A and B are shown apart, each in its own frame.
Chain A
Amino acid sequence: MAVNRWLATGNYFTSYRDEQRIFATHLNRLFFFAFLCCLFVWPLLFEVSNKYMLVIDNILIAIVAIIGLNLLTGFAGLISIGHAAFVGVGAYCLASFARVIGDEHILITHAWPVMIILSGLLGAVFGAFVGLPALRLKHLYLAIATLSFQMIFEWTINSMTFFNQGQTISVGRVFWFTGQVMRADHYVFWYYVVLTVIIICWFMASNLLRTRYGRSLIAVRDNDRAADAMGMHPGLTKVYAFALGGFFAGVAGALHAYLYRGVGIESFTLHHSISYLAMAIVGGLGTLNGSFWGPLAIRTLDLQVDNLAEKAGHIFSANLSLATALRPLAFGLVIVLFLMFEPRGIANWWRIVKSYTKLWPFKY
């Protein structure tokens, strides 16, 4: 930002260093921090019912998982139909601790940040392990390998007594500096925690994408032979991408376990893997801000469909549950319509809106 920016007619970068800044202008940074402040302050100003706070927490946790999936599928180009299983690995890491040392043990209730990171690391280990076939396989075959990991994961949890055969394993309430977080504050407390985690994850991911390790993901996605010629190891890069995706998923899983104060298999099924993929696609693959739009859109859609089904249920008073029918229908339609008409996702709309407001009131 050496030249006088007010004289320039746009953002012209004169060095690569300039171009790679996270915030291109001071105004950008200002807006960003103002927005963050809003996110932190609004729960203090408005009273939100626990039901909606839970929905918001859910969206935020999905965002953490989707950042991982976006790195894996969007940036590294590896389709994962087993992301819910990675999330499940994180959650069940916590659950196994709860099984072994008891769910009110000091490690779980007091050292929860450590546990969350530990779950993330275990997720990364499993991610790398599942990614091992990537040393030999490409595209489709890899996607099917992740699908089979999902099925094996579900079976393992469902059949082992250690994991309570998929039934809920409870996780204790955590402590904050002010004492135990009780029911009234539970959801707001986890809102703040997850929000902080998202900000950290976002900075991690966007900084990663500015380094050689992040760029190598994109290089391998675009052309792995060229990447090979440039001195990267495509296979290892893919394994590493899986580990990254697994880490974020594991963190999301631990957060999910703490939020629900329990872990059960019903949150980590194939169905959830598919909806994670849908979130990534609707948000926009290969864009970081797409990871925020996708969960927001899909979860809001789910909520609206549920409300609609509830209303319609009063009119029809039929014995079939309208929600179970309408939810997959709306979900499928959204995926298909997005893929056909806006394959770049909501992130593309965001880009359009941004460039429009930048130029307004001029046309170009």
Chain B
Amino acid sequence: MSYFLQLVVSGIVVGSIYALSALGFVLIYKSSRVINLAHGQIIASGCFITYALNVWVGIPIYLAFVLSLIITFFLAMGVERLFLRRLIGEPIISVIMVTIGLMSILDGIIYLTPFGAENFSFPEFLPTTPIMMGDVSISWTQLVGVIITALLIGGFSWFFKKTTIGIAKRAVADDQLAAMSIGVSVPKVFGLAWATAGLTAAAAGGIIGNITGLNFDTLHAVGITVFPVVILGGLDSILGAVVAGIIMGLIQQFAGGYLDGNWGLNSTAEVLPYIILLIILLIKPHGLFGTHEIERV
């Protein structure tokens, strides 16, 4: 039983990171209908910026974290302005390919820095002894990570419900023409969507970096695992991203805990999300919370 509870706890930790990563993805898709394949790279760069600011420049970790959020905010905004703005109205494959190109460019830039080849880890700034709750243990970094994730997701939900910018974003997501006619600047909203997505990605990156260490491959892989999460939750639902992220985290942990090693299976956690993705696409393509707008052939 304690094994089960331990898996649940670590599943929630992993899942909340997925939720935060998926949130950025959903933000972009919701307002501009762009699938951002470079999300993993943005997550990674957010993480690396935090590390560079903290260790190489010597800024305290919390300040470095906030600074990296701000930097990626503008970075993502610039990316939208430079590459995506020109492609509004182009066919979907062009848009997907541009994000793939972006992914390659960011890959190249990251490989030019020391982060491409070597692994780093954040200096310990929290107590290293794990917190025990009965038989279940959770480390301080994981706990803080989950708390920050919850705060950010809560903050974003509030932002979308209450602020003018958030309402403008939802209006654009709902109907671009109608939003334009009541004076919402659609390109600006697109830019802002990318910027906020960059911000959440950097936050996710910082948290993952603290939990697992700075490995480009791991961080990059999170960007791809986001796909099953968003499909499960529904491509345009923030609530869906959160719920599906946690479900996916739990599934991965259970798969790793119970399936691996039995029946000759190993590393099932890597493949199970994609099998689920295929099943979801076949039976419920709009996901758990997505809008039912899929055109059938």
Contacts and interface: CB of A to CB of B under 8 A. Distances in A.
Nearest to A319: B117
A147 B297 contact: no
Interface in A163-180: none
A235 B296 CA distance: 9
Interface residues of B, number: 47
Interface string A234-254: 110010000000000000000
B297 A148 contact: no
A285 interface: yes
Interface string B95-135: 01110111111111101101011000000000000000000
Nearest to B110: A325
Contacts, number: 151
A335 B98 contact: yes
Contact of A133 (B86, B228, B281): B281
Contact of A325 (B94, B101, B112, B294): B112
A154 to B, nearest CB: 8
A336 B101 contact: yes
Interface in B68-102: 83, 86-87, 90, 92-94, 96-98, 100-102
A328 interface: yes
The interface residues of chain A, by DSSP majority, are classed as helix
B109 A335 contact: no
A38 interface: no
A340 B295 CA distance: 29
Interface in A278-320: 278, 281, 285, 320
A159 B271 CA distance: 10
A139 B101 contact: no
Contacts of B294: 137-138, 141
Q: Quick one: which of B35, B93, B282, B285 has the most chain A CB within 10 A? A: B93
A280 B90 CA distance: 17
Contact of B271 (A143, A144, A152, A325): A152
B274 interface: yes
Contacts of A324: 111, 116
A214 interface: no
Contacts of B114: 320
A138 B295 contact: yes
Interface in B243-297: 265-267, 270-271, 274-275, 277-278, 281-282, 285, 294-297
Interface of A: 73, 77, 79, 133-141, 143-145, 147-149, 151-152, 155-156, 158-159, 224, 234-235, 238, 270, 274, 277-278, 281, 285, 320-321, 324-336, 339-340, 343
5 contacts: A138-B295, A144-B231, A144-B281, A152-B278, A332-B108
Q: Which 6 A-B pairs have the closest CB atoms?
A: A329-B108, A332-B104, A335-B101, A332-B105, A325-B111, A155-B271
